[in-house]
Chains A and B, each alone.
Chain A
Amino acid sequence: MKPENIVLGVIGYDCHSVGNKILEVFFAEKGFNVTNLGVMVSQEEFLNAALETDARAIMVSSLYGHGEIDCEGLPQKSKEKGLDDTLLYVGGNLVVGKTPFAEVEKKFKGMGFDRVFSADVDLEKVVEILRQDLEKFAGKTS
């Protein structure tokens, strides 16, 4: 099976670089073809990279609290660019202040993200969900 392309990056003006480097190694080891945009990535850079690489999923990270402002409108722009079949995941410390995760998840799903993860999520679980989601999508389009 051909490796799936995914795009990875930290959105906005966030420069938390450690987890991003770990995620890159992790997803590559799991057999994905990772385009890592690194830190301080704009919405446009995410979408352009997804178009260029024909990515199946965009994985957005945010650790510094501005996630809400930075992510606003990304799902809509993604559809406008014709990336309807590209999964949109977001994870990290997405809002300012300790907030129950259910609230954060509701907010970001409401914004149009397919999956929302907390900063301490088990990465093995993320890969499992990603594979299931990709299979579902594949079933729909083929």
Chain B
Amino acid sequence: MVDTARLTFKQFKSIRRQVLQAWPTGAGLTLEDGLAAQKSIPTEKNFAQAMKNAGEQGRVLLQPRAGVALVEEHIKLLQFLEEQGEADLLPTTIDAYTRQNRYQEAEKGIVRSREAKTSLLNGFPAVNHGVEACRQVVDRVNSPIQVRHGTPDARLLAEITLAGGFTSFEGGGISYNIPYAKKFPLKDSVDHWKYVDRLVGWYEEQGVSINREPFGPLTGTLVPPFIAITIAILEGILALRQGVRSLTLGYGQGGNLIQDIAAMKALKELAHEYFAMENFSDYELSSVFHQWMGGFPEDEAKAFSVISWGSAVAALAKAEKVIVKTPHEAMGIPTKEANAQGLRATRQMINMLEDQVFPASRELDMEIDVIKKEVKCLMDKVYELGLGDIESGLLAAFEIGALDVPFAPALCNHGKILPMRDNDGFIRVFNKGNLPLCSDILDFHREKLELRAKAEGRSVGFQMVTDDIYAISKGKLTGRPK
């Protein structure tokens, strides 16, 4: 079945002509050339295959974040992470100028990095370097590589990196706009990502599987699981509609063991449910767990503890993949040595827990049940607003704040929802904004927060939110008064 929301090949080709003109490295690029390059890549370097194998074998694959300004240095960085960090999967993290399509500024960053003999960019400017440079990167490492970024309009980046042999592409029209942009209209980013998904769908039709991963953690700051899961499911449906087949849905660690395991279970179960409702059955679904995405402690010993806790939960939650942090997280971009240390700390924990099972419990079942109810409240509203269509529904939902991401920079996000931890460290909703949560759910959240307020001898308020945001970097999960 071909979805009616799918871009036709004619529409795709006509947009493509414009997309390739945005920067000289796009000129003359043909789909056939990209396909030939992809077909020459050995199976063991295909990301989609690696994710499928991990699911079948019950393994947790380790992936760092990494990217620098210059090609040769980037290759050396990735080789180091493979050899010294024992990474299973490699990234190519894209710099922040490229993410905003500022190729001129990226060019300046490349020149200045050459002069300074060190990277002045926070990632690899793949568009400026072009297809051949990407192929060199792919050629000189042994593991599959994913493009990781934060780009509302990633059409040219996708064309160049996929033709360059990368086999996984992170992002989505919501998850790479709301946390990553200020004034980018949501409708535009959703449209641009339709193009990216259609490009991936085209490769799939030609027999080359490319993995797609919506960005689960969003703002990485106290995001209640149901918000992240709802958006992951919506982006999953949008991707499947364009012909994507290999899909990895993500979730960022919240910090409470029960809530995190519940979220990972609910994420997969709900995704299958909603995909089936949308008549999709021909796909490979896997999950990725992100180690703590909020502020980190400066002390590297303490940072390792945060990394290890994330690793433990990833293993117990049976994720197919874990995204690894580094002991330099509090200071910004890590050295390659620090990055490899984060990977090795993660490896030890995953190896120790991979065969262990977290037992079913009443608390876990209850939390899964709560998350499912919450997601249903949001999804029902999206379907209602879209008269059955999730794409127009999600746009309308963001407009009225029925979908809302905490602490996001985007002006198209309502920004009224405020989360905080309850007395057991679960992330709950303090101010719901316009989220369409039903009253028994809201009562439940309120009750839990009141228990914390009582324990701390203060009333529920914004100070608790601020305290929670900085708690982990200051050494605790929950921001208690001194």
* Residues of chain A having any CB pair with chain B under 8 Å: 12-18, 20-22, 25, 38-40, 63-66, 68-69, 93, 95-99, 119-120
CB distance from A110 to the nearest CB of B (A): 15
Given known contacts A17-B408, A69-B120, what 17 new A-B pairs fall within 8 Å (CB)? A13-B102, A14-B96, A15-B180, A17-B409, A20-B409, A22-B466, A22-B469, A25-B466, A40-B100, A63-B332, A69-B109, A93-B331, A98-B331, A98-B334, A98-B335, A99-B331, A119-B331
CB distance from B369 to the nearest CB of A (A): 30
CB distance from B255 to the nearest CB of A (A): 16
Docked Cα-Cα span, A13 to B98, in Å, equals 10
Task: Report if B407 contacts A (CB, 8 A).
Answer: yes
Whether A66 pairs with B97 at a CB distance below 8 angstroms is yes
Task: Report if B112 contacts A (CB, 8 A).
Answer: yes
Q: In chain A, what residue has the closest Cβ to B113?
A: A96
Contact of B109 among A18, A66, A98 (CB under 8 A): A66
Docked Cα-Cα span, A39 to B285, in Å, equals 35
Docked Cα-Cα span, A25 to B469, in Å, equals 14
Whether A68 pairs with B409 at a CB distance below 8 angstroms is no
Whether B100 pairs with A120 at a CB distance below 8 angstroms is no
Docked Cα-Cα span, A94 to B462, in Å, equals 28
Q: List 19 A-B contacts (CB under 8 A).
A: A12-B96, A13-B96, A14-B96, A15-B409, A21-B407, A22-B466, A40-B182, A64-B122, A66-B95, A66-B122, A69-B109, A93-B331, A95-B332, A96-B119, A96-B121, A97-B118, A97-B119, A98-B331, A119-B330
Whether A15 pairs with B473 at a CB distance below 8 angstroms is no
- List A contacts of B335 (CB < 8 A): 97-98
Q: In chain B, what residue has the closest Cβ to A97?
A: B333
* Residues of chain B having any CB pair with chain A under 8 Å: 95-97, 99-100, 102, 105, 108-109, 112, 118-122, 150, 179-182, 219, 221, 298, 328, 330-335, 338, 407-409, 462, 466, 469, 473
Docked Cα-Cα span, A68 to B179, in Å, equals 23
Contact of A98 among B99, B221, B338 (CB under 8 A): B338
Contact of A96 among B179, B221, B330, B332 (CB under 8 A): B332
Docked Cα-Cα span, A64 to B179, in Å, equals 14
Whether A96 pairs with B122 at a CB distance below 8 angstroms is yes
Contact of B409 among A38, A69, A96 (CB under 8 A): A38
Whether A66 pairs with B96 at a CB distance below 8 angstroms is yes
Whether A39 pairs with B182 at a CB distance below 8 angstroms is yes
Whether A15 pairs with B182 at a CB distance below 8 angstroms is yes
Whether B333 pairs with A65 at a CB distance below 8 angstroms is yes
- Most-contacted residue by chain B among A25, A98, A119 (CB, 10 A): A98
- List A contacts of B109 (CB < 8 A): 66, 69
Docked Cα-Cα span, A68 to B118, in Å, equals 13
- List A contacts of B122 (CB < 8 A): 64-66, 96
Whether A17 pairs with B407 at a CB distance below 8 angstroms is yes
CB distance from A111 to the nearest CB of B (A): 14
- List A contacts of B95 (CB < 8 A): 66
CB distance from B474 to the nearest CB of A (A): 9
**A96-B182 contact, Cβ under 8 Å, with A17-B409, A22-B466, A64-B96:** no
Docked Cα-Cα span, A95 to B473, in Å, equals 20
Docked Cα-Cα span, A50 to B381, in Å, equals 43
Docked Cα-Cα span, A40 to B221, in Å, equals 19
Q: In chain B, what residue has the closest Cβ to A26?
A: B466
- List A contacts of B182 (CB < 8 A): 15, 38-40
CB distance from A5 to the nearest CB of B (A): 23
- Most-contacted residue by chain A among B120, B221, B332, B338 (CB, 10 A): B332
CB distance from A66 to the nearest CB of B (A): 6
- List B contacts of A21 (CB < 8 A): 407
Docked Cα-Cα span, A28 to B338, in Å, equals 38
Whether A69 pairs with B179 at a CB distance below 8 angstroms is no
Docked Cα-Cα span, A97 to B333, in Å, equals 5
- List A contacts of B466 (CB < 8 A): 22, 25
Whether A97 pairs with B332 at a CB distance below 8 angstroms is yes
CB distance from B435 to the nearest CB of A (A): 19
Q: In chain B, what residue has the closest Cβ to A101?
A: B331
- List A contacts of B409 (CB < 8 A): 15-17, 20, 38-40
